[in-house]
């Protein structure tokens, strides 16, 4: 919309990220720091995350500008995620972005973090034939597990979501029970490669039921009961691997079933898109590809670095929402107008 390159900041959880995109959405530079300091606690500590964003952002933004060979004045506007997420980190990122915008005399644009995940697939060149509206988005991360009908910029319809844990949360908790490091998803996937996915019977919550809600807490409990006989003793490696593989299979079965229902609820969808950290899971991706193929649809998942939290998606969502606002003759989305 003639606003020039955007410098975007993401700080809603434990990734501190900055990216610069051209007005056309070409990524000129991007950096992500996955904060350390949380692993000892087995999860993200909001206070530590907020302080780390504060310490990391100035250097990160300078380095990203240098990567793009740009001076701050070359930026057209500044964008940041302003929610949903951990409030401390969001305040740090948004205040930093606003301060930068103010000092440069450029506009500040607020971005909804979930909307940024939802629009990532539309980044130029990402999906070979493009991601035209409408499409079905499965957002599976540490904090979210939802099926969303993406009908246009700013036009989202939640078809279903988790009634307890997010999928990533379940991966992380189960990984912890198996004595793996954090974040648990990638570690669990690695261990599952040595396991038999049919070795240990586990429930498939909500599978076969109408709608596309999700539930993972019962699956987590069922798994913890399989561990009970071992008490505090270390688990035999093969048993742990079989549990990991069986859990991953159960999640993939449930998600495939729920998404296939969601596609029936949205017959107008032209594409199935997966986003969020759990979409990095290769077993899940393979199943989603099958679900899409069964419905006669293409399947697209952003590359792993764009599936997990990053600032490229924030910059892209800022460009798309500014364009949409311009098309509708509305003011640029700032933090007073950002969609909840």
Binding site: residue ranges? 113, 117, 139-143, 172, 185, 189, 281, 309
CB of 209 to ligand KG4, least distance (A): 23
Q: Which of 117, 104, 94 is nearest to 166 (CA)?
A: 117
> Coil, helix or strand for 215?
coil
CB of 276 to ligand KG4, least distance (A): 4
Do residues 7 and 96 make contact, with C-beta atoms less than 8 angstroms apart?
no
Cα atoms in the 13 Å half-sphere on the side-chain side of 318: 35
Nearer to ligand KG4, 107 or 143 (CB): 143
Q: Does 13 bind ligand KG4 (CB under 6 A)?
A: yes
Contacted entry of Zn ion, ligand KG4, none for residue 195, CB cut-off 5 to 8 Å set by kind:
none
Q: Which of 224, 303, 289 is nearest to 260 (CA)?
A: 289
Stretch in the footprint of ligand KG4 (CB under 6 A) among 35-43, 199-207, 233-241, 278-286? 278-286
Nearer to ligand KG4, 131 or 180 (CB): 180
Nearer to ligand KG4, 106 or 113 (CB): 113
**Sign (positive/negative) of CA torsion 111, 113, 117, 118?**
negative
**Residue 204 CB neighbour total at 10 angstroms:** 16
CB of 314 to ligand KG4, least distance (A): 12
CB of 137 to ligand KG4, least distance (A): 13
Rounded to the nearest 10 degrees, how much is the dihedral formed by the CA atoms of 80, 84, 85, 88?
Answer: 70
Q: Which residues 293-332 are close enough to bind Zn ion by CB under 5 A? A: 309
Neighbouring residues of 212: CB distance < 8 A, sequence distance ≥ 6: 147, 159, 160, 258, 259, 261, 262, 265
- Site size with Zn ion, rule: CB under 5 A: 2
Do residues 22 and 5 make contact, with C-beta atoms less than 8 angstroms apart?
yes
Nearer to Zn ion, 12 or 248 (CB): 12
Q: Does 142 bind ligand KG4 (CB under 6 A)?
A: yes
Q: What residues make contact with Zn ion under the rule CB under 5 A? A: 141, 309
Q: What residues make contact with ligand KG4 under the rule CB under 6 A? A: 13, 141-143, 168, 171-172, 183-186, 189, 276-278, 280-281, 308-309
């Amino acid at each position: 919309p003639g606003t020039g390159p955007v410098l975007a900041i993401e700080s809603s959880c434990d990734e501190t990220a900055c990216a610069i995109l051209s007005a056309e959405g070409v990524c000129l530079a991007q950096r992500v720091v996955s904060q350390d300091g949380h692993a000892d606690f087995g999860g993200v500590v909001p206070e530590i995350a907020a302080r780390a964003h504060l310490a990391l952002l100035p250097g990160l933004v300078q380095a990203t500008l240098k990567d793009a060979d740009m001076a701050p004045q070359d930026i057209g506007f500044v964008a940041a995620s302003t929610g949903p997420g951990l409030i401390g980190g969001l305040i740090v990122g948004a205040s930093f972005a606003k301060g930068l915008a103010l000092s440069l005399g450029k506009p500040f644009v607020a971005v909804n973090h979930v909307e940024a995940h939802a629009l990532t697939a539309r980044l130029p060149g990402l999906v070979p034939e493009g991601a035209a509206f409408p499409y079905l988005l499965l957002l599976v991360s540490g904090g979210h597990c939802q099926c969303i009908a993406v009908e246009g910029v700013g036009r989202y319809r939640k078809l279903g979501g988790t009634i307890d844990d997010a999928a990533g949360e379940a991966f992380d908790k189960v990984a912890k029970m198996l004595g793996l490091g954090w974040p648990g998803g990638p570690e669990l996937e690695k261990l599952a490669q040595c396991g038999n996915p049919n070795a240990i019977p586990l429930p498939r919550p909500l599978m076969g039921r109408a709608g596309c809600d999700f539930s993972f807490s019962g699956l987590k409990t069922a798994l913890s009961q399989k561990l009970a006989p071992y008490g505090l003793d270390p688990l035999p490696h093969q048993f742990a691997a079989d549990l990991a593989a069986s859990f991953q299979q159960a999640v993939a079965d449930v998600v495939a079933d729920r998404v296939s229902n969601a596609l029936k609820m949205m017959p107008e969808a032209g594409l199935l898109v997966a986003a969020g950290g759990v979409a990095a899971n290769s077993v899940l991706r393979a199943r989603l590809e099958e679900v899409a193929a069964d419905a006669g649809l293409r399947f697209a998942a952003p590359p792993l670095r764009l599936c997990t939290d990053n600032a490229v998606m924030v910059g892209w969502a800022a460009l798309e929402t500014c364009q949409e606002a311009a098309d509708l003759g509305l003011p640029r989305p700032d933090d007073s107008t950002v969609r909840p």
